[in-house]
Amino acid sequence: MTNLHALFDQLTALLLQTQSYWRPVAFHHLQLPWMQEHPALVTRLFALKPQQVEILATDQMALLQYLATDIPGAEELASLSVLPQFECKHLTPVTPHFYSGMPGRKWQQINAFAACFADSQLPLLEWCAGKSYLGFYLQHLHSVKVTALEWDPNLVLQANCRAKQGHISLHSHQVDVLSPTVDIYVQQQQQVVALHACGELHERLLKLCVERKVQQVHIAPCCYHKRQHDHYLPLSQQGKAGGLALNKSELHTAVMETVTAGATVQKQRKRLQSMRLGFDCLQRELNNSEQFLDLPSLPAKWARASFSEFCLHCASLKDLTLPTTVDWDYYQNLGEQRFNQVSALDLIRFLFRRPIEVWLALDRALLLQENGYHVQIGTFCSSHITPRNILLRAQLP
């Protein structure tokens, strides 16, 4: 079995050594710290065509081959970040009726998760369950009593209707898992599962498991950046001692490897980001500032606005008065140029997505290990089904 302590220490050291490459976000800075040292690399990146950037951004192996010799430590980090795949059990197929209405990829994820599930007859608690698709499947496979916790009342209702109609031993409760009322649901003689519970939602579960000494835990973490506080303090003692601190935007880097979005969404994203960058060029000049001006996230409908409408809206959000005449075409073009440059420069940060994600997952694994759990960490499915494919499997002796 992998020595989690040693692996975590190696990753920590390499991430600290390479931090000037992955911490700064190109979208926020006109100059990145590594650009001065690597002028030839910058020229090479800026010469890439948008399609080439897109291919490299979505193919981690190709990206590594393209950049490994430029960035010391990148190759070692990549090889340390390869986790073993859990052994999958063969599951008896169910009729399509069982998963009707479930998005195809979700069913594949649930199947893969269930195939790596360590059998137990303990009652099961599903955390942030959504419609409790996973809970229903595990109930079907293992005939255990399932309690599901979910915040959205609609999803709770749907799960309970399905359970009632099918006489299935599953009950969903409408609960905010961050509130103190959740404590009563977490018990020692239990197995808990959490598939893609975001940042502080799965952090809360981990802390409660440790506190209550929950017998068996299966967690596939996701969206580490979705949390109230900007500053991430590692959860494990080893993490706290390691000296690697992350903020929200660095946590976000960990989950930037996504299944490619459809063409319409990609086009919308490109337009919105180019306009944001164009507005940023404009505000820097008006404010005579070197500072990026952060804007709240805007609904997709803004992708259909003209550039001037977009800027006027952003200016109003930031209490900024724009001059009566602005050369809109000039700033729009600047924004489009910046978008191409930012996309190319981001490739450097993308090299570190998986190492940061694995580091975060190991921090969670070590928290459990430090609290007496026997812990295994690996992948439960291929990254094509979901890039958030890391599973923590932990059991108290």
Ligand X SMILES: C[S@@+](CC[C@H](N)C(=O)[O-])C[C@H]1O[C@@H](n2cnc3c(N)ncnc32)[C@H](O)[C@@H]1O
Interface residues with ligand X (CB under 6 A)? 106, 128-130, 133, 149-152, 155, 176-178, 195-197, 201
**Distance between CA atoms of residues 210 and 213, nearest Å:** 5
What 8-state DSSP symbol labels residue 227?
S
Least separation, in Å, of the C-beta of 253 and ligand X? 19
Least separation, in Å, of the C-beta of 188 and ligand X? 22
Evaluate whether 170 touches 148 at the Cβ level (below 8 Å): yes
Query: CA distances (Å), 19 to each of 106, 237, 348, in order?
Result: 34, 21, 11
**Distance between CA atoms of residues 118 and 78, nearest Å:** 29
Least separation, in Å, of the C-beta of 349 and ligand X? 24
Evaluate whether 57 touches 346 at the Cβ level (below 8 Å): yes
* CB nearer to ligand X: pick between 133 and 232: 133
Least separation, in Å, of the C-beta of 179 and ligand X? 8
**Distance between CA atoms of residues 99 and 110, nearest Å:** 10
**E runs forming strands in 35-141:** 124-127
* CB nearer to ligand X: pick between 197 and 345: 197
* CB nearer to ligand X: pick between 204 and 276: 204
* CB nearer to ligand X: pick between 129 and 356: 129
Output the six-digit token pair for 146. Answer: 């399932």
Which of 86, 92, 197 is closest to 140 using CA atoms? 92
Least separation, in Å, of the C-beta of 125 and ligand X? 12
Output the six-digit token pair for 125. Answer: 């608690």
* CB nearer to ligand X: pick between 129 and 251: 129
Least separation, in Å, of the C-beta of 304 and ligand X? 28
Q: Identify the helix (H) or strand (E) that includes residue 125.
A: strand 124-127
* CB nearer to ligand X: pick between 172 and 369: 172
Residue with the closest Cβ to ligand X?
Answer: 130
Per the DSSP assignment, residues forming a β-bridge with 170 are 146
